[in-house]
A and B are shown apart, each in its own frame.
Chain A
Amino acid sequence: MEGPVSAGIVPLGMGIAFMLVMLWLIRRAYGEQQFQEFATANQTFGTWAITFSMMATWFVGASYTAWMGMAVNYGFIYLYGPIYGAYCVILFYLIADKLWLWGKAHQLSTQGDVWALRYDARWLKALVGIVGLSASFPWLIMEFWTLGYLISYASYQHLPFVWAMAIGALVVAFYVTMGGMRAVVSAHFVQGLFFILGAIVFTYFMVSKNVGGIGATMRSALELFPEVLTYPGPGWNPPNPYWTSIIVTSSVGGFLWPWCMNRAFAADSVRTIRRASWQSVYVSTLVCLFGFFFFGISAHHLEYARAHPQEAWLWFADKMGGPLYVGIAFIVALSTALGTVSSLIHFFGVSIASDVMRTLNPKLHEKSATRYAQIIVILISVVAFIFANMKLPALVFIALLTYQFIIQLGPGQLIGLWWKRGNVYGAVAGLLAGVGVALYLTFIDVTGTGFGGWTAGMWGLLVNLIVYVALGYALPPSKRTEELFQEVQALKEEAAKPVAPAD
């Protein structure tokens, strides 16, 4: 995308204005906080804030580069996106009550805390924390890179990539350090609103200006490129089980990402998470349909977009309406990138301070833990900035590959919160076996489609599940687990009691 410096000033100015307004709107979230408040905002956010937060976190910045490339090039296969978007929140819904109630009663702040409580093993906190941190690291780098790329590209590439990324990183690190989870979710409200409206309404306008309305676009695609309307799309031929694999892997893994599942600790009630979940099903379906699928089919008509699918979003906006459209498209994509980067660096700060430092030193004071988390947020931002400046051509591939490993937390977390017989031996042995199988099969077949379309993570998940269930039946259920499940009922009854009016 080329243009004079004056053209770049419009979108860049709009993006900077958006960031400044966002920082001003969330100003009440800044201030000194205890660790629990920094980590979870003390469970205070309502339904729409959690819905927007789930959307701003779940739709990553790379949705507008890597996933947009998939929608533009292959069309139909992108529809795995709305299916997995819906079913990952449905799985989240099914464990929401225990996550929230135990979170409130036991002051939980991370995924490691949940595992340590459920399986009554303190050391699991560090293990699960480290698994989450390792799997999330490629995403952190990828999202920093995307942030820099979007800002630089929106300036018609007049602002160098390094400076572009520095601006984005400074803004996010500032508000996350100053306000913790309260600032992250408050900012998500603003970002989610812009992103959702932009992805649905603005994309519809852009698509209408290209081939015509949605009807004209689909009729034209049916005539010119019918292969983009069916699985798997042009120029690619994975077997049908690959469709199943990517949907199952992503659905199970979607809210196993520790930076996504910790939304449960920010909600003000179980009902809030449940309502946010079904709202998210509708919102994510509409966003995927209008913002990506219809856009992808429309952009597929243009040769440049097909040749450079990862640039398609901003390039298309420029072609349809010049710098003003680029500015709006930039804010939409920037919202998702800022949302994900903030969730990630906040998670790194909280997880290292809680899962690692507090495990090593249980007497670590609340305020000291907050201070450490804030310092880690800054340090991890610097580390991510350095890595994102390196040439890492396989980064998107590595980030996607991490899904094959994060889903190995599935049996221990998703089934473990329903099934009392699940025990620590099954959870850990299953996790290790699943990761081992997924790792081995990944080395044998890097494409991930070589086993009849079933990916390495699916085989790992199957082995993991067998080990978890077998050891669950082989060993007697723990008394502590029984007590913990009974506590859920008592906590539900307590939460349902009407609050006495204040005198």
Chain B
Amino acid sequence: MKCVKPALIACIFVIFFVLASPWTLPLFNRVEPWIGPLPFGAGFIIIMLFVAGFLLALLENYETRRGM
């Protein structure tokens, strides 16, 4: 179970790399509608941030239960 915290932190920073890197930017720098009318780029960023927030909430819950 020792790997849970580093794994969650690693996932959160992988999302950061995907969103912020100049090499991955062209992958989501697209205009076509994706979720309803939301364009692909904006939709992708918002969903990834929601996932990052969820992972952070999981991390908080894990650390609280473990008294960390």
- Which of A229, A251, A493 gathers the greatest number of chain B CB atoms within 10 Å? A229
List residues of chain B with CB within 8 A of the CB of A229. Answer: 31, 39, 41-42
Residue from B21, B33, B60 within 8 A of A218 (CB atoms): B33
Binary contact track A272-302/B, C-beta < 8 Å → 1, others 0: 0011011001100100010001000000000
A255–B39 alpha-carbon span in the complex (Å): 30
B33 near A289: Cβ-Cβ < 8 Å: no
Task: Determine the distance from Cα of A219 to Cα of B38 in the docked complex, in whole angstroms.
Answer: 8
B10 to chain A, nearest CB (A): 12
Most B C-beta atoms less than 10 A away, residue of A93, A226, A230, A453: A230
Asked if B67 and A231 sit within 8 Å, CB to CB, the answer is no
Interface: A367 (CB within 8 A): no
- Interface residue? A243 (CB, 8 A): yes
Residue A206 is within 8 A (CB to CB) of chain B in the complex: no
Shortest CB distance A250–B (Å): 10
B60-A271 in contact (CB<8A) = yes
Asked whether, in the complex, the Cβ of B39 is within 8 Å of the Cβ of A243, the reply is no
Chain A residues contacting B59 (CB-CB under 8 Å) are 93
Q: Give the complex CA separation of A222 and B36 in angstroms.
A: 13
| B3 is an interface residue with CB less than 8 A from chain A | no
Annotate B35-68 by CB proximity to A: 1 below 8 A, 0 otherwise: 0111101100110011011001101100110011
> Is A79 a contact of B41 with CB atoms below 8 Å?
yes
Which A residues from 412 to 451 make CB contacts under 8 A with B? none
Q: Is the CB of B37 within 8 A of A76?
A: no
Choose among B21, B22, B36 the residue with the greatest number of A CB atoms under 10 Å from its CB: B22
Tell whether, in the assembled complex, residue B49 and residue A275 are in contact, meaning their CB atoms are under 8 Å apart.
no
A281 touches B36 (CB 8 A): no
- A83 contacts across to B, CB distance below 8 A: 16, 19-20, 45, 49
Residues of B within 8 A of A (CB): 9, 12, 16, 19-23, 25-26, 29-31, 33, 36-39, 41-42, 45-46, 49-50, 52-53, 56-57, 59-60, 63-64, 67-68
A-B contacts, 29 listed (Cβ < 8 Å): A76-B29, A76-B41, A79-B41, A83-B16, A86-B52, A215-B37, A218-B37, A218-B39, A222-B31, A229-B41, A230-B29, A230-B39, A230-B41, A231-B41, A239-B22, A240-B22, A244-B20, A274-B60, A274-B63, A275-B60, A277-B56, A277-B60, A278-B53, A278-B57, A281-B49, A282-B50, A289-B46, A453-B22, A496-B67
